[in-house]
Structure 1
Amino acid sequence: MYKLRNYQEVTINRIYEQLKLGHRSIMVQQPPRTGKTVIMAEIARRATRKGNSVLFLVHRKELVDQARRTFEEQGVDMSLVTMGMVQTMTRHVGELSEPTIIMIDEAHHVLAKSYRRIIDAFPRAVRIMVTATPWRMNGAGFEGVADCLIPGQSMGNLIKHGFLAPIRYFRPPDINTAELKTKANGEFDEQSVAEALKPKIYSNAVKMYLAHARGMQAIAYAYNVQSAKQLAKNFNDAGISAAEVDGATPKEERDRLIQRYRDGKITILTNAELFTEGLDLPNVDCVIMMRPTQSLSLYLQFSMRAMNPRAGKTAVIIDHVDNLSRFGLPIDERSWTLKGTQTAGRKHGETITPTTTCPYCFATFYRKGRKTCPICGRKLTVPDEESGPVHIDADLVEVSQAKQQAKRRVEIAHMIRDSEMMKWIADKTPDQLENMIQLQYYARLHGYKPGWAYVVGKKRGFVR
């Protein structure tokens, strides 16, 4: 049986306190690498000891096998547990016996129809939903499925007491990004616009690994399967044992490579979106990010993969795509909430349609099917998606964590101020705005480029 860590006991006690207060649908935020499955296994052990039944849901087969081992080692009466992938359970929901408790792992996925179908089928069951990131990229909230949120322990506290490893974080340097060129008539050159819009990866991955993490076992996240294969080849060519694993790798081969990695016979595992949620690989000391993401959930799963603790260990995170600029350090403290951040008027769960901003007149519109801007008529450039990201050979620099966290505190203060301003201008029209600052906030609220505020401000006489 696992010996619970004190912070896990604290979380379990908080869950029971909320149950005593009458909450029946509890979401628990627990940072990656801090034993979410152990917490659920202990609650399941106590529940089955009293004869209560448990339905445990995950979204990947590997997680089922891993959770089953943890539950068995924790002494759960497995005769009272139904465990499986949500994709399977939702197809057979009519055949399931009503559980006393529904447990959901990686619960930021819970808004999906497959989960909702099971939840709605058993309205009397207590729900305990655990996730590292109660956050959805489309801005949807969790108030429809949870009636309380229990935040996890602070990152600083977990590191201080040795439950997570401290980190060194390397990112691209502050390179001059003023890449747009102008033509003789003063307008932007179309080709330079296309080039500037391409995502960038700061290479060389092998060089940066040798400089900052030589000898450490690492997982590298690539932006597609081909790049993952090429990255593994680059490491092998440099005499560093590496293997590529992806969703198409046969299960037997994948298991064999993962075991060789666990045994220390492979130093680098490269993959494209495979080793993200849940899979236990305790000997990862370094993470190499070659894939940019807009998902906070993925970013934390990527970056914290290396933070399993060991005496004297400092994890190394090598961020070649500057995900840091979007999300801050993985050890930053974050305020979690059940409330969403949807734009007013958008339906619950509605897909957000991507928009495009014209680089000439700054109009924002839906791009799909358009070759020209509907406002100014200029031809729209099309980034070369087939060629993949642009690679730039530049040495990465280490992030000062104290400076980065101070910057984060300032950003939070600005967010509070910005929120008040956004509320004030939400029901205003551009002609009701009185200065450049209000125009700039209006542009941000509606997704316009900063140049929109300048153009309108010039016309209104705010800019001399």
Structure 2
Amino acid sequence: MTDERSSNAGNGGRETNHTDDETPPARGNESSPDSTADGESDRLSIDRFHDACQQAGRPVLTADGVARALDRPQEDVSGELEELADRGAVQRLSVSNDPVVWYPSELEDLTEKERVVVFPKRREIVLDRPTQFTRAQLSQFAHLADGNGEKGYRYVVRPEDVWQAPHEDFDDLERTMRQALGQRSERLEEWVRSQWDRARQFRLYTHEDGYTVLEAQTPEVMGNVARQKLDEEHVHAPISDTEDWVREGAEAAIKRILYEAGYPVQDHRDLDSGEALDVDLEVSLRDYQQTWVDRFAEAGEGVFVGPPGSGKTVAAMGAMAEVGGETLVLVPSRDLARQWAETIEEYTSLGPHQIGQYHGGQKNVRPVTIATYQIAGMDRHRSLFDDREWGLVVFDECQHVPSDVYRRSTHLQSQHRLGLSASPIREDDRQTEIFTLVGPPIGTDWQALFEAGFVAEPELEIRYVPWGDDEQRNAYSSADGRERYRIAAENRGKIDEVRFLLREHHDAKALVFVDYLDQGRELADALDVPFLSGETPHHERRRLLEEFRRDERDLLIVSRVGDEGIDLPTADLAIVASGLGGSRRQGTQRAGRTMRPAGGALVYVLATRGTREEEFARRQLQHLGRKGMTVREQTVEREQTSDDSSETV
């Protein structure tokens, strides 16, 4: 792919800058129109004005400031500024603290330009007003760390981003980098090349006699890395200076250990693909979904990362069709297993006789089987899955995979592995294990999907609510630890606030989330609506969700079971009444219940004013703010009346 902005002729009207001691491109001024034939070098020119701004460290200066910076009389400078203004080179602006300040006219144009600033030492790229093309190119080798459209975008180039870059050789990656940045950054490119080389130092392959071999590029890297990190649990013995005979079943551990040492292992084993399975996708993939599938097909493994509502499940079915082999899908709960089965039947050419579910409710192993992680990890069931040769294993909600219970399911062998996650982060910082156990991240930044209209960006607002009564306030003051948090979470003042928000949005379909069963029951009684929790029988849970999905019901109270264990229908309004001590992933899941192509969705997070819930709310939603969502904060002042409540903010 080529792009006219990346040609040597220029940057297509955008600004690019290097920092971290890199030499910036020189500004040409050999033939400045402000120079004079008789050599009046002291006379003010636009270039000398720039010099004064740089010396003062400000883009806007008074005449006195210019005179001081250039060590010239203010009277002379004032007249010459007027001349520059007449020619349009600078602009004047009256302000309250000084009669007039001056700034270059070109600053007015910069507000509409794409600007790129590269920090090679920190491996960061900051953009203002980037085009979709630039962001698409950046997503191939960098991670979006902060994505608020109003404040700009900050990308970080991490080792794993380079390791999984979808390019055949480094020249292609280098070309993509220069297209994205509009410039060369030798220091950054040198580091990226080193990571590119690291990702190609080790590979696993199948020996002609059927066993697995770990091969290194050189004897030095084999001796100084692999043979220092691995022991007899992982390898039998050396075969040569660059090859070791791998113990059966140790492949996943080897990949994890070397990945953590900074050397991802390429897996070139001849894994069994199982029986062929013709799968036709009966829905068209969006462009970004097709890109995900193409990158997965090239790598043979990966994790689809995207916001709720971006269609990761449908993209996974595209991967199934690409693989064309028998597939095992692992999910956290039987409700999700049922929903997966229904979705596969709806969106693919597969019939009910080809789709099986294996969990506490039913146990059928078929060409496409959906099982729960818990069942797949149990010894008495695991042989059923081990004995079948899977072409593809899909790990839904794969952020759970590093946990001890779910990890056992990753020992299942298959030709291809695919993970799905809206937010592959963990509070125990074990998220790198997700990518070693399943595959590298593949995704599109959230803000790009918001702007393209594929996924609606919900409006997020934290509302700091007063105490509902003095009894709870006093109990909070005398409590400590976890009990203190629970009292704040169950603040009865939140019942009035939920009522208020539901009245304000009386036409909305709403979900109210709680962490505590007692609070959920109290809210359900106060609002006269059902409370959906882990105690709700499966048939009752399914009926309530179907009624909500068909618009026969417009309000549900939902416990933690709604975070990941079931596929909740989308809503116009989500109110988080408690749960602020939960994970960043939980905040993502709950906000995601309002994400859909139609706009106007709202998420309100309630925190008891003056308690640690305030801190929890900010921390939980900060992660979403970095992904491009706008987060507002409001303090509620409520006056109680005998039969209702009124509120000011």
TM over 0.5: yes
Q: Is the 2:509–2:573 contact (alpha carbons within 8 Å) kept by the matching residues of 1?
A: yes
**2:402 is aligned with 1:111:** yes
Q: Is the 2:302–2:418 contact (alpha carbons within 8 Å) kept by the matching residues of 1?
A: yes
- Equivalent in the alignment of 1:15: 296
Q: Is the 2:637–2:647 contact (alpha carbons within 8 Å) kept by the matching residues of 1?
A: no
Q: Closer, same or farther in 2 for the Cα pair 1:218/1:129, shift >3 Å? A: same
Q: Closer, same or farther in 2 for the Cα pair 1:231/1:393, shift >3 Å? A: farther
- Equivalent in the alignment of 1:62: 335
- Equivalent in the alignment of 1:162: 453
Corresponding residue pairs, total: 315
TM-score (normalised: structure 2): 0.44
Between the aligned residues of both structures, percent identity stands at: 23
Q: Report the residue type matching 1:154 in the other structure.
A: D
- Equivalent in the alignment of 1:71: 344
1:281 Cα deviation after fit: 4.0
Q: Closer, same or farther in 2 for the Cα pair 1:233/1:283, shift >3 Å? A: same
1:61-140 aligned at under 5 Å gives the runs 61-75=334-348, 77=350, 78=354, 80-91=367-378, 92-96=381-385, 97-122=388-413, 125-140=415-430
Q: Closer, same or farther in 2 for the Cα pair 1:285/1:126, shift >3 Å? A: same
Q: Closer, same or farther in 2 for the Cα pair 1:94/1:230, shift >3 Å? A: same
Match of 2:431 among 141, 157, 164: 141
Q: Closer, same or farther in 2 for the Cα pair 1:327/1:147, shift >3 Å? A: same
Match of 2:551 among 242, 245, 264: 264
Distance of 1:392 and 1:6 partners within structure 2? 47
SS of residue in 1 equivalent to 2:597: coil
Question: Which residues of structure 1 form unaligned runs of 5+?
Answer: 20-24, 176-188, 237-241, 336-390, 399-464
1:76 Cα deviation after fit: 5.3
- Equivalent in the alignment of 1:253: 540
1:53-452 aligned at under 5 Å gives the runs 53-75=326-348, 77=350, 78=354, 80-91=367-378, 92-96=381-385, 97-122=388-413, 125-143=415-433, 145-146=436-437, 148-173=439-464, 191=478, 199-200=488-489, 201=491, 203=494, 204-210=496-502, 212-236=504-528, 242-277=529-564, 279-291=566-578, 292-310=580-598, 313-321=599-607, 322=614, 324-328=617-621, 331-334=624-627
Q: Report the residue type matching 2:419 in the other structure.
A: M
Q: Is the 2:584–2:621 contact (alpha carbons within 8 Å) kept by the matching residues of 1?
A: no
Distance of 2:595 and 2:443 partners within structure 1? 16
1:192 Cα deviation after fit: 8.3
Q: Is the 1:56–1:82 contact (alpha carbons within 8 Å) kept by the matching residues of 2?
A: yes
**C-alpha deviations, 1:216-263, integer Å up to 9, x for none?**
011111121221122122223xxxxx2211111122222222222223
1:278 Cα deviation after fit: 6.5
Q: Is the 1:155–1:332 contact (alpha carbons within 8 Å) kept by the matching residues of 2?
A: no
Match of 1:2 among 273, 283, 291: 283
1:34 Cα deviation after fit: 1.3
TM-score (normalised: structure 1): 0.61
Q: Is the 1:14–1:150 contact (alpha carbons within 8 Å) kept by the matching residues of 2?
A: no
Match of 1:39 among 315, 321, 332: 315
Distance of 2:422 and 2:648 partners within structure 1? 28
Q: Closer, same or farther in 2 for the Cα pair 1:258/1:282, shift >3 Å? A: closer
Distance of 1:65 and 1:160 partners within structure 2? 33
Q: Closer, same or farther in 2 for the Cα pair 1:247/1:393, shift >3 Å? A: farther
1:133 Cα deviation after fit: 1.3
**Alignment RMSD, CA only?**
3.2
- Equivalent in the alignment of 1:387: none
Q: Report the residue type matching 1:210 in the other structure.
A: L
From the CA coordinates, give the structure whose radius of gyration is larger.
Answer: 2
Which has the larger share of strand?
A: 2
Q: Report the residue type matching 1:71 in the other structure.
A: I
- Equivalent in the alignment of 1:437: none
Distance of 1:264 and 1:318 partners within structure 2? 21
Distance of 1:173 and 1:13 partners within structure 2? 45
Q: Is the 2:333–2:565 contact (alpha carbons within 8 Å) kept by the matching residues of 1?
A: no
1:101 Cα deviation after fit: 1.7
Q: Is the 1:15–1:150 contact (alpha carbons within 8 Å) kept by the matching residues of 2?
A: no
